[in-house]
Amino acid sequence: MKHLKPINRKARRIDDLVASMDEDVVALAQPRPHVPMGCSLSFSPGWEVDASGGTAGLCQPVERDIYDCYVTCFWPVQVPDHVNYSADWASNCAAATKDWRSLDLVFP
Amino acid sequence: MRRALAFLRSAVSFPAVSLGVGVAALTAPATAATLFMGSYPDRILAFDEDKGAITGSMRLETGLPTSMQSSQDGKKIYVTTITTSGIEVIDTATRQITNRFSLNDGATKYRFSSGAPDAAGNFFYTIVTRIDKGTDKYTVGKPQYAKIDLKRQTIVQTADVEEKDERSGGGRAALKVSPDGRFLYVFGKKILVVDTADLKVVERIDLAKPDGTGMENVGFGRALDAIDASGQFVSLFNATDPYVHNKVFGVARFDLNSRRFDFAPIGPAPESMAGLQVAPDGKEAYTVVTTGKYGNKRCEFWRFDLAESRVLDKAEFQCRSRFTFGLSGDASKLYIYGASYDIEVYDARTLKHETTWDLGHDTTGAGMVVVR
């Protein structure tokens, strides 16, 4: 398509749109940005809803999903961060669904 | 790409022939097995399939397990941990930790989520991200292939992952080392073949692991759930034809030493598939196919005849939002586990639910290693 040049305003807008997709600003765009630390740029919904705005996509009960989010920082606002500052949060609780009361308290 | 498609075209004409060659080499006796499972907060559980009960528990001093990889002879399990970026080696016979160390060293930390040992057990290969704590900032490095000397307990060689390959595999790709130790295979969006001498990519193959369902493949340690016998790696892959770009799934067999592979297509690629679980006799295999999302999500077991490259049976089951699929050591049971403290057990012949085993511990993304 490089041999085509826009000659009217509508074509130029299309050309600009295509060119904008090659910009290096990727913070909230697709493809997903590379976030090596994992815990600072997650804007996904929390425990209350899934990505569709409903609840059917959540683990049932949601306590089943706490730990993988804790380790991978998938929902850093809702659960402590295992990697950076709360490695012992779950040390007294092997099964979150059964004994979540044993989870440690975390104060910022 | 061209090479992969050439194989695809040839395999379309002779699928039964190309698959039949590999089946004989996969034959092995079926015996009762022990399941080794990563669990919270810092343990590997040993679970006896016959008894349906936990028979052992090993504490990992380096922290929470994120991946497990069995040695080719099944005598050792290599565990990676995230808490202190550690590696621990378990002797499956004695259930003792024979080696353990952490890569983190003061102001320098590493992130990695899976890896693979060489056949001799001397080196462990992975993809790491190095983080250096400075006086005023953290410096996060680029993803690197890393060669870890298990005796010296340190990284002895690294090489940057090329930018075009970062999204092909990254830290969550499944890794496998050829039996002769010459090549590291990275199974991600593409298959990368890395020379272990200089950690440079020598070949890129356009076959992709099927898309997983949600986060079930995090860690990817268990993604190498296919059999490997005589240096052969077998799994489900997706490929696209060169004309109308129709995505098909099929069984690919790799000879890891020679870097040769063949691909036998089976049918149109479903929305997402779990990894291929192959019976010890190599004749049949199982997977889970998932369609739809959220409230419309539906899951089915699929049973394959590997010799004839066809689907024998399907059955829908009530699946979790997030899960991992496994197979018992004698291939008589199908396991659904993960994101919970239990294993749902299904009969592999009827595909019906049998029972549920309570582990008492939530399982981690490290998944399950079956030792016969």
pLDDT digits (tens, 9 = 90+) for A38-92: 455 556 666 777 777 788 888 888 888 888 888 877 666 678 888 888 888 989 9
Provide the whole-model pTM. Answer: 0.82
Average pLDDT of chain B to the nearest whole number: 82
Residues in chain B: 372
Q: How far apart are CA A40 and CA A43, in angstroms?
A: 9
- Look at residue B20 and tell me whether its pLDDT is greater than 50: no
What is the structure's pLDDT at B127?
A: 93
**Under 8 Å CB-to-CB from B13, ≥6 apart: which residues?**
none
Domain presence at residue B153: yes
**B146: confidence class by pLDDT, cuts 50, 70, 90:** very high
Q: Are A68 and B364 an interchain contact pair (Cβ–Cβ within 8 Å)?
A: yes
- Look at residue B145 and tell me whether its pLDDT is greater than 70: yes
Domain presence at residue B370: no
Contacts of B340 in chain A (CB under 8 A): 59, 64, 97
**Under 8 Å CB-to-CB from A4, ≥6 apart: which residues?**
none
Chain A positions contacting chain B at CB under 8 Å are 31, 34, 36-38, 50-52, 54, 56-60, 64-65, 67-68, 71-72, 74, 82-83, 87, 90-91, 93-98
Integer CA distances (angstroms), A66 to A46, A49, B42, B49, B82, in order? 11, 14, 16, 27, 16
What is the structure's pLDDT at B172?
A: 63
**A36: confidence class by pLDDT, cuts 50, 70, 90:** very low
Instruction: Chain A: give the shortest CA distance to residue B264, in Å.
Output: 31
Given the structure tokens 């595999």, which residue do they identify? B169
Q: Are A57 and B295 an interchain contact pair (Cβ–Cβ within 8 Å)?
A: yes
Residues in chain A: 108
Integer CA distances (angstroms), B142 to A32, B129, B145, B165, in order? 16, 6, 10, 12
Domain presence at residue B108: yes
Nearest CA in chain B to A81: B83
What is the structure's pLDDT at B59?
A: 96
Lowest mean pLDDT among B8-17, B129-138, B225-234, B347-356: B8-17
Which range, A7-21, B78-92, B215-229, has the best average confidence (pLDDT)? B78-92
CATH number at residue B114: 2.130.10.10
Beta bridge partner(s), residue B286: B277, B303
Lowest mean pLDDT among A51-55, B14-18, B175-179, B350-354: B14-18
Contacts of B297 in chain A (CB under 8 A): 56-57
B90 by Cβ neighbours in 10 Å (0-12 / 13-18 / 19+) ranks as buried
What is the structure's pLDDT at B14?
A: 28
Q: Are A71 and B66 an interchain contact pair (Cβ–Cβ within 8 Å)?
A: yes
Beta bridge partner(s), residue B56: B46
Domain presence at residue B224: yes
Domain presence at residue B273: yes
What is the structure's pLDDT at B171?
A: 52
From the candidates A16, A24, A50, A65, which is the catalytic residue? Answer: A65
- Average pLDDT estimate for B96-121: 93
Q: Supply angle C-alpha B348, B353, B359, rounded to 5.
A: 100
Instruction: Chain A: give the shortest CA distance to residue B166, in Å.
Output: 9
- Average pLDDT estimate for B20-34: 50
Give the residue among A80, A94, A34 at the shortest CA–CA distance from B43.
A94
What is the structure's pLDDT at B210?
A: 60
Q: Supply angle C-alpha B35, B37, B41, rounded to 5.
A: 155
**B271 φ, ψ to 5°?**
-60, -45
Cis peptide before A61 (omega within 30 of 0): yes
Instruction: Chain A: give the shortest CA distance to residue B240, in Å.
Output: 21
Domain presence at residue B372: no
Contact B263, B14 (CB under 8 A): no
Lowest mean pLDDT among A72-81, B75-84, B121-130, B142-151: A72-81
Which tokens go with A16? Answer: 């600009």
Lowest mean pLDDT among B111-115, B193-197, B202-206, B210-214: B210-214
Q: Are A83 and B82 an interchain contact pair (Cβ–Cβ within 8 Å)?
A: yes
Give the residue among B115, B263, B274, B257 at the shortest CA–CA distance from B178.
B257
- Look at residue B222 and tell me whether its pLDDT is greater than 80: no
Q: Which value does ipTM take for this structure?
A: 0.73
Contacts of A52 in chain B (CB under 8 A): 293-294
- Among partner residues B218, B321, B341, which is closest to A95 by beta-carbon distance? B341
What is the structure's pLDDT at A61?
A: 86
> H/E element holding B96?
strand B96-102
What is the structure's pLDDT at B148?
A: 98
Nearest CA in chain B to A49: B294
Q: State percent of chain B over pLDDT 70.
A: 84
Q: Into how many domains does chain B fold?
A: 1
- How do beta strands B277-278 and B298-305 pair? unpaired
Q: What is the DSSP letter of B269?
A: P
What is the structure's pLDDT at B90?
A: 97
Instruction: Chain B: give the shortest CA distance to residue A17, in Å.
Output: 24
Contact B1, B7 (CB under 8 A): no
Is residue A65 annotated as part of the catalytic site, yes or no? Answer: yes
Interface of B with A in 143-182 (CB under 8 A): 143, 166-167
**Under 8 Å CB-to-CB from A24, ≥6 apart: which residues?**
none
**B22: confidence class by pLDDT, cuts 50, 70, 90:** very low
Q: What is the pLDDT of residues B64-108, one digit of tens each?
A: 999 999 888 889 999 999 999 999 999 999 999 999 999 999 899
Domain presence at residue B368: no
In which region does residue B275 sit, left (phi positive, over 0), alpha (psi from -120 to 50) or beta (all else)? beta
Q: Are A54 and B294 an interchain contact pair (Cβ–Cβ within 8 Å)?
A: yes
Chain A and chain B share a number of CB contacts under 8 A equal to 94
Write out the DSSP string of B158-183. Answer: EEEPPHHHHTTTGGGSEEEE-TTSSE
Instruction: Chain A: give the shortest CA distance to residue B297, in Å.
Output: 9
Range of the structural domain that residue B31 is part of: 2-362
Question: With an 8 Å Cβ cutoff, is B339 touching chain A?
Answer: yes
**A23: confidence class by pLDDT, cuts 50, 70, 90:** low
Nearest CA in chain A to B292: A57
**Mutation for B interface: A24, A52, A58, A65, most B CBs within 10 A:** A65
- Average pLDDT estimate for B97-125: 93
Domain presence at residue B182: yes
Q: Are B360 and A94 an interchain contact pair (Cβ–Cβ within 8 Å)?
A: yes
Which tokens go with B32? Answer: 């009762």
Which tokens go with B73? Answer: 């002879």
**B11 φ, ψ to 5°?**
-70, -30
Integer CA distances (angstroms), B269 to B13, B199, B241, B246, in order? 18, 33, 12, 9
Nearest CA in chain A to B217: A68
Contact B263, B21 (CB under 8 A): no
